[in-house]
Structure 1
Amino acid sequence: MAFENVDLFDAVANASLEKYGWQDRCEAKLIVLSENATYMVKNKETGEKEGVLRISRPGYHTLDELNSEMKWLRQINDYTPLLVANPIKGLDGKNIQEITGPDGNVYFCVICDFLPGEAPDENNEEQMVKQFRYLGETTAYLHRQTEIWNGTDKLDRMVWTYDTIIGEHAAWGDWRAFPEMTPEAENILSEVSRIIKRRLERYGTNENNFGLIHADLRLANLLIEGDQIKVIDFDDCGFGWHLHDLASALSFIEDKPIVPKLVNAWLAGYKKVLPFTDTDFEEIDTFIMMRRLQLTAWLASHQESGPVAELSVGWMDGTMELAERYLRLFG
């Protein structure tokens, strides 16, 4: 459920600044209100952007899960050529501050470094292809880092499996709840879901295809500054198939004609850093289709969120086209 009470989160944001001793010189301005409340923290006098504040929805992550995310961010900055926003410690030396809101709930707040840069232009096809090559390379650096880091087994994060993505315990809800879902569409997509499950069971998990992943590594979560690639929004990071990072890169555009070019570009970038097997290649469509169903559930459970109305236009048509193609390939 997306947030609705802006005043409540403004109060939490202002209280969090006190934990850093910033209440006099900084102000927090809301950027987006969805799974989290995200604020830009600016210097009142100069207007300089000093950090980005994230207020987590109560119950979405535990304190241990958030601390695990912070540990990975520091590992990435220390051991890869990528740049991510490190957390800023509060006056108590902690990365995560606990604020009791006006409603009595406890909210976990994190302020990370502000990273300058521009999000890729998703309307420029030539640039999109070029940036997907960067994105593939970026993803491979993340996967390689988690393979060599022996601290991943100490992290407490979500495990993204068929069950938690689109199965009975799907974290983002039931795709069948999408408002435009018809009995016919549900029957077709249920068959697609069964095939996905069967293929994933055959694909299996091993140290080469499953590990710590970003899980939402789409262009909106990249910042480009010259040749420097910066990665943001690790809120969904957890343990899952590496291919889920490719599928999530195509979020909301899975049915667009440009997708094959983007996939090839992503693969070209990825293979500069890590190998990509024929077995992996055979399951690309499975992961793209699974991500589409996951996003269908997300749209269904966020109907009151601003961007959802626009994203939902034509969604079922595109989803059914993907489903029919998937059934032709694997049905």
Structure 2
Amino acid sequence: MYDETFLKRLETGLVRMLPAWGLEPGTQLRLLTISENATFLARDPAGGRLVIRVHRPHYHSRAEILSELAWMASLIEGDVVETPRPVAARDGRLLLDLDDGGELRHVVAFEFMSGEEPKASGDLVRWFFRLGAITARLHGHARSWRPPADFSRKVWDFDAMLGDRPLWGDWRAAIGLDPADRPVLERTAEALRSRLEAYGMGEGRFGLVHADLRLANLLVDGERLGVIDFDDCGFSWFAYDFAAAISFIETDPIVPELMSAWIAGYRTVAPFGDQDAAMLPVFVMLRRMLLTAWLASHAETPTAQELGPTYTEGTLRLARAFLDRPQ
């Protein structure tokens, strides 16, 4: 989908929409990221900056996007987490539509937040301690918040990830997966299903989560750790947020330290039981297989093109180690 022609078409359409947010003539657009969506930075001649997200079609409904923005607004109002505020158009709408050759693409805008992605080295353990505390505050808010009556977000349970209704594609289509290795992942998926069923989806374990707290969605500026991109937020296991945080670095030797730091940080804000901690490797394996499926179904993205079969090979190594551990 996101080839050069398509991106240029999106950019042309967005330029026409810029006055809707009061941006001046001469505002420059720059592509920031391509993942599930395409995200652009708009910089006007006076130095003002706005981040504009064009949603992938047929992924989130209007109600789901507005629900994401409603949770973000409540988090900001409650000073739960530092995250960019959604920006309404001049007519008050938070969600606009871009007409792309007769197909409408949902568009939302956010304040610009300064900072850089934490590096997978150095102070990362310290930042994961902070992230654990932030995650605990997010979960505390989710447990006590009463969402609007029309609140709608996806449910990230086993079936939505690896089961009968996979939202990110079938892991069996993993890039470069040898048919001879497929039984390894089949056994792993069944082991995950069994462990998750035993763990359960009780109120204390399952609720509204960010679901994508990976390094690319964290912004460090001095001592501030900001969180961006609630696009995947939905209902899942609270402990899954740690697994999402180590996306794409699951095999790094630093992960055990990150896990310990995250748990310690979480416990400065709220309890995190030993049973929950023991489930973290399960959620790491679940997330790894989910991302393996995502790469296959989003092969046009820079991430998929960069990682390709190498990521699938790493998933197999992790799966074999997971199956070898006592369950």
Whole-Å separation in 2 of the counterparts to 1:34 and 1:205 = 29
The answer to whether structure 1 residue 76 and structure 2 residue 75 are counterparts is yes
Which residue in the other structure is 2:258 paired with?
A: 262
Which residue in the other structure is 1:328 paired with?
A: 324
Which residue in the other structure is 2:239 paired with?
A: 243
CA contact (8 A) 2:85 2:111 kept: yes
Which residue in the other structure is 2:113 paired with?
A: 115
Please, which moves more after superposition, 11-20 or 147-156? 147-156
The answer to whether structure 1 residue 189 and structure 2 residue 185 are counterparts is yes
Alpha-carbon offset, residue 198 of structure 1: 0.9
Q: Which amino acid aligns with 2:289?
A: L
Of 145, 153, 159, the match for 2:155: 159
Which residue in the other structure is 1:8 paired with?
A: 9
Please give the root-mean-square deviation of Cα atoms over the aligned residues, in Å.
Answer: 1.7
TM-score by structure 2 length?
0.95
Structure 1 unaligned segments of length 5 or more: list them. none
Equivalent position SS for 1:60:
coil
1:175-202 deviations in Å (ceiling 9; x for gaps):
1111311223210110110011011111
Alpha-carbon offset, residue 227 of structure 1: 2.2
Which residue in the other structure is 2:61 paired with?
A: 62
CA contact (8 A) 2:3 2:300 kept: no
Whole-Å separation in 2 of the counterparts to 1:7 and 1:192 = 41
Of 224, 248, 252, the match for 1:252: 248
Equivalent position SS for 1:297:
helix
Which residue in the other structure is 2:88 paired with?
A: 89
Which residue in the other structure is 1:98 paired with?
A: 97
TM-score by structure 1 length?
0.93
**Structure 1 segment 209-228 matched on structure 2, within 5 A:** 209-228=205-224
The answer to whether structure 1 residue 283 and structure 2 residue 279 are counterparts is yes
Whole-Å separation in 2 of the counterparts to 1:2 and 1:196 = 33
Whole-Å separation in 1 of the counterparts to 2:220 and 2:23 = 29
Q: Which amino acid aligns with 1:89?
A: A
Alpha-carbon offset, residue 28 of structure 1: 2.1
Matched residue pairs, number? 326
1:56-100 deviations in Å (ceiling 9; x for gaps):
111111111111011111111111342111111112111111221
Please, which moves more after superposition, 248-257 or 17-26? 17-26
Alpha-carbon offset, residue 142 of structure 1: 0.7
CA contact (8 A) 2:176 2:308 kept: no
CA contact (8 A) 1:2 1:35 kept: no
Equivalent position SS for 1:108:
strand
- Cα–Cα, structure 1 residues 3 and 37, in superposed 2: closer, same or farther, change >3 Å? farther
1:276-296 deviations in Å (ceiling 9; x for gaps):
112212211111101010011
Alpha-carbon offset, residue 119 of structure 1: 1.5
Whole-Å separation in 2 of the counterparts to 1:149 and 1:24 = 41
CA contact (8 A) 2:250 2:284 kept: yes
Equivalent pairs: percent with the same residue? 38
Q: Which amino acid aligns with 1:22?
A: L
CA contact (8 A) 2:136 2:269 kept: yes
Structure 2 unaligned segments of length 5 or more: list them. none
